[in-house]
Amino acid sequence: MSSGARTATVSRETRETRIKATLTVDGSRAARLDTGIGFLDHMLHALAFHAGWDLELTCTGDLQVDDHHTVEDVGLVLGQSVDQALGDRAGIVRFGSAYAPLDEALARAVVDVSGRPFFAGEMGLARERVGDLSCEMVPHFFHSFAQTAGLALHVDVIRGTNDHHRIEAAFKACALALRTALGRTTSAGSGGVPSTKGAL
């Protein structure tokens, strides 16, 4: 991995959404977000901040239908941005795990930036919506993100009674795990691709 900035700009336009994202992995925690879904913006801000990213993302979606296409496609574009910013993934730590509490809620995230997309998680959400975000779309966001980022992601909310807290703890745990996994290795001879196969 070069010592240069790990950045990417990704655009996606369909009949359902128009999205543009610019990501800097080694950022200053600056975020400018406008998806049309306030609570999703709040969660993306938490993700970018705690992962140490700079993230600009705008989306115009068919929210008159529902929030499905917007949330799904934002996840896909953000994952693509991570994938492009990492390049061949040489010199990354690769694995990361973290716990994040938010008051009574506690979430755990484990990630392997393996090139093999997979998501599993248990959110335990009870409400239909938090703000304008459908609770059923929270795990779907993580699934979409993992697919295009090319990583295995496990996110579980271990406890909590408030769905806002449960969701936010999940995003923060994911951010912290990604911050570790996408970090640059520093030990001697560790700059290659972190796989016995020689490729991710």
For residue 71, the SS3 value is helix
In a domain, residue 197? The reply is no
In a domain, residue 186? The reply is no
The region, left, alpha or beta by phi > 0 then psi within -120 to 50, assigned to residue 73 is alpha
Closest CA to 71 of 117, 39, 109, 32: 39
In a domain, residue 199? The reply is no
For residue 119, the domain's CATH number is 3.30.230.40
In a domain, residue 2? The reply is no
In a domain, residue 125? The reply is yes
Structure confidence by residue, pLDDT tens digits, 120-169: 999 999 999 999 999 999 999 999 999 999 999 999 999 999 999 999 99
Distance CA 74, CA 56 (A): 12
Where does the chain show beta strands of DSSP type E? Answer: 7-13, 17-24, 31-34, 54-61, 95-102, 105-112, 118-122, 129-130, 133-134, 152-159
The total number of structural domains that make up the chain: 1
The domain in which residue 51 lies consists of 7-181
In a domain, residue 198? The reply is no
In a domain, residue 190? The reply is no
Structure confidence by residue, pLDDT tens digits, 99-125: 999 999 999 999 999 999 999 999 999
User: Tokens standing for 60?
Assistant: 């115009």
Closest CA to 78 of 38, 110, 43: 43
In a domain, residue 36? The reply is yes
The region, left, alpha or beta by phi > 0 then psi within -120 to 50, assigned to residue 102 is beta
